[in-house]
Structure 1
Amino acid sequence: MRPIKQYNCKLFFSISFFILSTFAFAQETEKAGASAQELADKLANPVASLISVPLQNNLNYGIGPFNGTKYTVNIQPVIPFKLTENLNLITRYILPVVDQRNITGLNTHEFGLSDATVTAFFAPKSKKIICGFGPAFLVPTATEKVLGTEKFGVGPSALIMHQANGLSIGFIANQICSVAGNEDRADFNQFYTQVFLSYSYKSGASLGINSEITQNWEGNTTLISLNPSIGGITKFGTQVVQFSVQPLIPIVGHQAIKPDWGLRAVVAFVFPGS
């Protein structure tokens, strides 16, 4: 029980620091004439013209017949480009670093890069319905065979959302099919969507919930999770940082891929002046 008590103590101090830091940042931004809530709203918008570098930490337990554990850090820089006065190109990159045990067999361990996903959204400027459309690419960057597909894939991606008075609601989706790669490996054909809702406060804190759905058409498997979240914005020196924490609650999934439970923690380095 001692490790659990130590963990709860660390968690308490982390949450306390998180709340105090968010409050301090809110006071500072109000004095400077900036709005922490506006920044939180931009971060809730996947196609906002804002450079950010989120590090998304995902920990899942109880996966498959060997009760495996999987820890994934998704390095997810978002880089916007201004094409015209009314059109932006928002590029989003996801490079997963995976450490997993007892997934492919009992007493097995794999560590390394998985396949990267690159998405480019053409996003017209709009104050009502925000939308973005463009291509999504699967890039075979895996450093171990079992961590990737050895396939190059491409497909469409889309985002539709609405923001007003701190409320953000919408969805983001892509459908990627393999078009080249190792012919001895199974084809890749997968649909992914995330439906999200969040509310931001003047302090920059936010509450939300999202549902992630992954449909593997080739393997005929579906994975659905429900993920409530709490987040906030603070500063390390002059660097603006957003934190958020989410329990990952599996709803639907095949025994081989569905975890018993999971946890996500995100640290996003933000560059508001971009």
Structure 2
Amino acid sequence: MKFSLKAFMTTLALSAAACTSLAETSSDDMNKSNNPLTPVVGLNLHDYITSSIFGTDETSNSFNLRGALPHATGGLPQLARMTIPYQTVPGPDGDQVSGLGDINIFDIFLVAGTETMQFGIGPYFIFPTASEDETGAGKWQAGASAVVMNPHPWGLLGGLLTYQHDFAGDEDRPTQNIATLQPFVIYNIPSGVYLRSTGIMFFNWETGDYYIPIGFGIGKVWKLETGITMNLFAEPQWTVAHEGVGVPNFQTFVGLNLQFPITAN
């Protein structure tokens, strides 16, 4: 399955910018649009286009529809995020298999911090919702997620760590014992443009497989008069260290982040 998501997002952003008056985009707006701890309603369209995979000539594609919702259940400020993936991956017979992946949710408790240091921690759940064996793990999984963010006028530094382990599901499927670490390096330049590096490191503690990508990309943030923020970006990522086959060698991460001026009550 081939997407024209990049063209779609470009058209959407340009159309919105053309038909809607724009407000001045500050460095704070740019940081908030890239910060996973920003407590506003968000909608993300993310696509990982993997054009080279270790151990095979096949390609893959992972499109993620992601929503974020701030809330204050129990009087505690939190940010819930749900990701619905649609995967296209190499199949067992040399073909490609497409289908819904495993939906994941984390709920981050926003720990009191400062203007220059923000923290969050909370539970992480993965549900075996995949429509095909190849697009999911077939396991119920739980774990934890933690986020640290360090905003500056020039940009943003931080990291998102997750850990997951299965506790139920298909006994014939491999055990899931996985950690990921996503660093955030954002450097703001004039006119709402920024440079970025956000490659997700992946570690399978059960098999010993891992891969560490390094990304270098560019993005553009628009602040609309309505208060909505749009963030369009593209980031090529190269794997600089790995173990095992079937992991990405080169991929391109493209996305559109939308944030709406709605906060938790």
- Normalized against structure 2, the TM-score is what? 0.84
Q: Give the corresponding residue for 1:176.
A: 164
The one-letter code matched in structure 2 to 1:77 is G
1:24 Cα deviation after fit: 8.0
Aligned to 2:185: 197
Shift of 1:197: 1.2
Query: What residue number does 2:239 align with?
Result: 250
Closer/same/farther in 2, CA of residues 241 and 216 from structure 1, 3 Å limit: same
Structural mapping, 1:259-274, within 5 Å: 259-274=248-263
Post-superposition offset of 1:218 = 1.3
**Alpha-carbon deviation of 1:210?**
2.7
CA separation of 1:88 and 1:205: change in aligned 2, threshold 3 A: farther
1:23-172 equivalent positions in 2, closer than 5 A: 28-30=22-24, 35-83=25-73, 87-100=76-89, 103-126=90-113, 127-172=115-160
Change (3 A) 1:134 1:201: same
Conserved 8 A contact 1:190-1:217: yes
| Contact map agreement 1:119 1:135 (CA 8 A) in 2 | yes
Moved more, 173-182 or 103-112: 103-112
Offset at 1:115? 0.9
The one-letter amino acid paired with 1:176 is Q
Provide the aligned C-alpha RMSD in A: 3.2
- SS of match in other structure, 2:187: strand
Distance in structure 2 (CA, Å) of the matches to 1:203 and 1:266: 19
Distance 1:73 1:18, change over 3 A: closer
Alignment partner of 2:77: what SS?
A: strand
Q: Contact 1:54–1:76 at 8 Å: present in 2 too?
A: yes
Distance 1:203 1:84, change over 3 A: farther
CA displacement, residues 172-220 of structure 1 (integer Å, 9 cap, x when unaligned): 1011000111112121110011111112345322212234211001121
TM-score by length of 1: 0.82
CA distance in 2, matches of 1:125, 1:241: 27
Alpha-carbon distance change, 36 to 82 in structure 1, aligned in 2, over 3 angstroms: farther
Percent of aligned pairs with the same amino acid: 23
Shift of residue 125, structure 1, vs aligned partner: 4.2
- Tell me how far 1:37 sits from its aligned partner: 2.9
Tell which structure's C-alpha radius of gyration is larger. 1
CA distance in 1, matches of 2:11, 2:137: 41
DSSP 3-state at the match of 1:253: strand
1 or 2 for the larger relative contact order (CA 8 Å, sep ≥6)?
2
Q: Give distance in 1, aligned partners of 2:191 and 2:70.
A: 26
Question: Which ranges of structure 2 fall in alignment gaps of 5 or more residues?
Answer: 1-6
Deviation at 1:123, TM superposition (A): 0.4
Q: Deviations over 1:218-258 (max 9, x none)?
A: 12101110111211123799664210100011112235223
Alpha-carbon spacing, 1:176–1:199, altered in 2? closer, same or farther (3 Å): same
- Equivalent residue of 1:183, what SS? coil
2:218 is matched with 230
SS where residue 82 of structure 2 aligns? Answer: strand
Residue type at the aligned position of 1:272: P
